[in-house]
Amino acid sequence: MNRQPEPPYPHPDGAQPPKIPGELVPRHVALVMDGNGRWAKSRGLPRTEGHKAGEYALFDVIMGAIELGIPYLSAYAFSTENWRRSPEEVRFLMGFNRDVIRRRRNQLNSMGVRIRWAGRRQRLWRSVISELEDAERMTAGNSVLTLQFCVNYGGQAEIADAAKAMAMDVAAGRLNPEKVNEKLLRRYLDEPQIPDVDLFVRSSGEQRFSNFLLWQSAYAEMVFLDTLFPDFDRRHLWHACEIYASRDRRYGGAEPNPVPPSPADPARALAAGAGIADEQIMRDPRG
């Protein structure tokens, strides 16, 4: 975008982002927005009211992500398993997702947010696809934050679709099966240019992936917060990021444990103190 992005609106209570060193801010946060139905039930409201309240929570989180300098945020808006819900709720969610994108895209565009869509086209309303694709085109040049809407998305479905596309390329002679590896498979995912997830956050106290960004979250740090999503805001995101920043990420590697000399071996202890190497200790003193 050519114009200066608009800053995010401030938190109503004046909350400010924590002072996390830039190198410890997660590059990509995955967000499972859970608890809308329970929030509504606890208030004697239909589930749809919980989803409506969740819209405001999500957009406050987006503001907080921009303030903290998070470059990528993925939001789980509708899963491949959500089709199992009642027909009335599915219809509401289809229309709601469509209308949220239409209603909010100008605001997101003005703040420099780039919108991407991950998910299957099958069964998804054409009007939802149209709004998602329009939002992608409108915001393609933005760079403040990439917001990935995961609509009709499932991690297993994404991997299966990638494997199917690879198999078709192998069958057509476009791909040598001996070249297939993790790096190559990644190129067949929905949004391969978006980096792997650093921080996986779920609201409502549930502690599971729920089939969200399974491949991308292989080395993600997991943070589960008890707050139901309609009560969630940027402060909860910041808290999760502080937890993330406090953790030691090793990606399967590890430093050797320092082992003090055994008190039963006084020669080795003395040599260690004098800086004498093990091979000198083991050398036959007779030459």
Active-site residues: which are they? 34, 82
Who's near 69: CB < 8 A, 6+ residues apart? 22, 25
Do residues 79 and 124 lie in contact, with contact meaning Cβ atoms separated by under 8 Å?
A: no
CA-CA distances (angstroms) from residue 105 to 4, 73, 149, 165? 17, 15, 12, 31
Going across the sheet that includes 72-79, the strands are 113-118, 145-153, 72-79, 28-32, 199-202, 221-224
Contacts of 192-197 with CB under 8 Å at 24 or more apart are 194/28, 194/72, 194/74, 194/116, 194/146, 194/148, 195/27, 195/28, 195/72, 196/28, 196/220, 197/28, 197/29, 197/30, 197/74
Helices 234-245 and 47-68: crossing angle, nearest 10°?
A: 50
Query: Counting Cβ atoms within 10 Å, is residue 165 exposed (0-12), middle (13-18) or buried (19+)?
Result: middle
Which residue is it, tokens 């139901």? 228
Do residues 79 and 210 lie in contact, with contact meaning Cβ atoms separated by under 8 Å?
A: yes
Which residue is it, tokens 């320092």? 258
Which residue in 217, 222, 218, 219 sits closest to 202, CA to CA? 222
